[in-house]
Structure 1
Amino acid sequence: MPAVTVENPLVLPRVAAPAQARQRPVLYVGTAPAGFEGEGFPVRRAFAGIDYRHLDPFIMMDQMGEVDYAAGEPKGTPWHPHRGFETVTYLIDGTFVHQDTHGGGGTIKDGDTQWMTAGSGLLHIEAPPEALVASGGLFHGLQLWVNLPRKDKMMPPRYQDIGGGKVRLLTSSDGGALVRLIAGEIGGHQGPGITHTPITMTHISLRPGAELTLPWRPDFNALAYGLAGHGTAGAERRPFGTGRTVVFGEGDAITVRADDAQDSRSEDFEFVLLGGQPIREPMRHYGPFVMNTDAELAQAFEDFRAGRLGTVPADAA
């Protein structure tokens, strides 16, 4: 972990918060509960139990794996519907194939991202390729759900395939951090993801003992989630690591430090740092639909049952 890296981070653009920036305090650190999704692949529910006012515009985030499958074990999801939000699937290790009823789809692996705007609705499937099912192998990734504002919930579906090579790579002043900017902006640098709801999404590798302080939009919320290893969050150095989520308070800078020694498969402290502009609209979430009212949820289920969100292709049924 991970596939997208550089041998010498000091060749990358450097980013740092101004010295006078106001540090965001840590409001909460919690442990993500484990469960299963789709056909039975293991997940950790990163945002479970966190008040939605701290998450907005995000709905949920699952860490998929990390799991080393034996031959015949890799699993995915069956065909299922979505409406009213965007799904972001970021794959660190392994391979996933996506197909949807709006013509989107493709294969992602080792640092690639699939960004699907469900909008008015579609059916889709995510599954490992047959060759990976036969061989087994390492599987590890994230799926993030990003809410859409009321005005965009019924927009036409859209699909973005963000190859790992398109991700914007940055580092800290001393080269101790590798920042993969997938979407949004940090310190004047822009990631490749095109979003309807303004967000910033990063995957960061921090060398043992290194500290990173990033500028952060004050109108965004801020969350961190540990993928591998351990370190501390905030100037107050609150401990967090693999499977733990941090909620930050208000401010315009975020500090994370890696512990001097790491004991995971990765030699670095790996974590996701993300935030977005709160939508501040009523939100109703049930199953695969995220709408503004209960009546809109009921309509989404009715449209799904009536086949209005698309039909599974005959050659894929």
Structure 2
Amino acid sequence: LVAIGTVADCATVLGENRILIKYGLIVIKKTRRRGLQNILKYCLGNRPTYDSTLIGFRIAPRINAAGRISHPESSLKLLITENVLEADVLAKDLHDLNSKRQQQTLESLKQAKEQLQAAILTDKILIAKHKDWHPGIVGLIAGRLTEQYHRPSIIFHEREDGVLVASARSTEQFNIIQAITQQKDLLLRFGGHAQAAGCSLEQAHYETFCEKMRALTNASLSDDDLYPILNIDCELRPDQITMDLKQQIDTLEPYGIGNERPLFLLRNVELHRITPVGKNGSHVQLWFHTPAATLKGIGFQQGHLAQTLSTGEQVDVACHLLVNTWNGQTSLELEVVDIQRAQ
């Protein structure tokens, strides 16, 4: 539970935290907790790998789903129950809630992008509101927007009493809580830190708040700040991408904040094929031709690449190495972080 909480709360994976997570993953693999045993059935699937992504992308989202769109009591019961049947029911409920949360997030994110079409082209901060966006997912929407467009995002949910409640996310270049604090005369409540915050205000103050936040970001951020900087750890040749290399890299696990997965660069490879996958085409599968081999890749939340890239182009690829297990077959893939046309 310590390992799950440390990863889920986005704590740094350094020092004693890294040790707690490393050995926590070993304990999770042989856990006797009925609830964890059952939730793992949904989390592992065809990928029986016990690493930090198992917690961050599979266990934690399911446990958090109840608190986001239902009631967190279900998650607590799952973690403490000793009843086999109750554990099975609770695990399925949380899995279903997480699927519902994912669908709601995708639909709301699409609405937000449609609402922000003009702002994406002109503004250095993205601010949107909607009465139908669930308060438990506005932070996820803000995070996705900031990740894709590399600028601060503030997403509001409109309560029945008319009060607007927001979650905000930002980049390293802009201190979002400092900016929000400067608007305290307009706010009912606020709090957070440099890259994640929240606030609430009356509907009547919304436009003024937006104008002041736009003015602050325009004064603080340059056009260059709207482009993410990737810290490449190493450039690889295609023939160096082997399962042996991946196994050596995995000795650096567990990864997380402060101990990020190594990011590699492949230069001047041919994009042979690109196909949208997932609900609403939010992800893409890619194939790259190289003299050494054809490399397969996956781009999570990179669906937009299907509209911006053409097959046959020579591209530079920033990626992590990923082991994919499907139907008993294990293969090495590229987890694509970014692509640009070869220079």
Instruction: State TM-score, norm by structure 2.
Output: 0.30
**Structure with greater proportional strand content:** 1
Higher RCO structure, 1 or 2 (CA under 8 Å, sep 6+): 1
**Structure with greater proportional helix content:** 2
Instruction: State TM-score, norm by structure 1.
Output: 0.31
